[in-house]
């Protein structure tokens, strides 16, 4: 959330402006309005939203919103086909500094690469004094949720099943960060590398074919690594 710089919508979807005494006005993909009302557990005496207006996703593109925790105004952008009506709201949090799809959307729309997380997985000063030094996957996450509640921007906190890559060594979720990298041009030493591969005793032997295919198919190779 501290790295949020945009909200992405699907231009081909319809969105509804709805309201309820307990939530105020909200924008949600029209096909997900009923599911959202159920998720938010609206009171039994008024279990659904009042529909105010329907707008196209394309008409939302180019509008702006205010971040609930920081004094910045960010754009609503056109996202890709990853924005569906299978779940959620049809509006997707976008942080170009954290995640491949978000990064590509950010590059396409000229967004900066804000990644307020250090090598140890803690929020940096860019996340603000309140969160600086906190672990993203620990107390930082808890404090961000608390701050959203204080700002009146948290409709509901909910645990749910989510497919996500885990680090094979620590068994903890990975944190995607856009960082500066070093690359070398394989074209400049490809022939020498292929000759050297033939002189190495590979254990297991299948490793030889694997590295040969890597070298043959690469023009550039990332030689920087981030491991903690």
In this prediction, residue 226 carries a pLDDT of 66
Q: State yes or no: pLDDT of 180 exceeds 90.
A: no
Find the domain containing 199 and state its range. 183-222
* Whether pLDDT at 222 is above 90: no
Q: Specify whether 119 is located in the same domain as 196.
A: no
In tens, the pLDDT along 49-80 reads 999 999 999 999 999 999 999 999 999 999 87
Mean pLDDT on 106-134: 93
Residue 61 buriedness (CB in 10 A; 0-12 / 13-18 / 19+): middle
**pLDDT (tens digit per residue) in 18-49:** 999 999 999 999 999 999 999 998 888 888 99
Q: How confident is the model at residue 228 (pLDDT cuts 50, 70, 90)?
A: low
Domain boundary among 150, 174, 209: 150
* Residue among 32, 86, 80 nearest 94 (CA): 80
Whether pLDDT at 181 is above 90 = no
Is 89 inside any structural domain?
yes
| Residue 193 confidence (pLDDT) | 93
When pLDDT is cut at 50, 70 and 90, the band that residue 87 belongs to is confident
Percent of the chain with pLDDT over 70: 99
C-alpha 196/C-alpha 101 separation (Å) is 38
The mean of the pLDDT values for the chain is: 91
94 pLDDT higher than 80: yes
Return the percentage of the chain with pLDDT > 90, whole number.
66
Residue 228 lies in a domain: no
For residue 120, the domain's CATH number is: 3.90.740.10
Q: Which of 130, 150, 170 is the endpoint of a domain?
A: 150
What pairs with residue 166 in β-bridges?
173
In a domain, 174, yes or no: no
Q: pTM for this one?
A: 0.78
Give the CB-side neighbour count of residue 134, counting CA atoms within 13 A. Answer: 17
């Amino acid at each position: 959330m501290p790295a949020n710089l945009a909200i992405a919508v699907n231009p081909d979807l319809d969105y509804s402006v709805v309201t309820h005494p307990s939530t105020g006005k909200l924008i949600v993909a029209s096909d997900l309005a009923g599911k959202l009302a159920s998720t938010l557990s609206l009171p039994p005496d008024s279990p659904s939203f009042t529909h105010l207006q329907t707008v196209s996703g394309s008409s939302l593109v180019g509008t702006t919103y205010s971040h609930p925790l920081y004094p910045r105004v960010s754009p609503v952008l056109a996202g890709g086909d990853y924005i569906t009506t299978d779940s959620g709201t049809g509006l997707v949090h976008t942080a170009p500094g954290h995640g491949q799809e978000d990064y590509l959307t950010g590059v396409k729309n000229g967004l900066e690469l804000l990644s307020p997380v250090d090598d140890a997985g803690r929020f940096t000063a860019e996340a603000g004094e309140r969160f600086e030094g906190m672990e993203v996957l620990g107390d930082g996450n808890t404090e961000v949720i608390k701050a959203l509640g204080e700002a009146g921007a948290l409709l509901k906190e909910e645990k749910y099943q989510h497919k996500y890559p885990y680090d094979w060594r620590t068994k903890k979720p990975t944190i995607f960060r856009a960082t500066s990298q070093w690359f070398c041009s394989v074209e400049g030493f490809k022939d020498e590398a292929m000759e050297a591969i033939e002189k190495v005793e590979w254990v297991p032997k299948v490793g030889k074919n694997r590295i040969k295919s890597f070298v043959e198919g690469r023009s550039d190779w990332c030689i920087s690594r981030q491991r903690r």
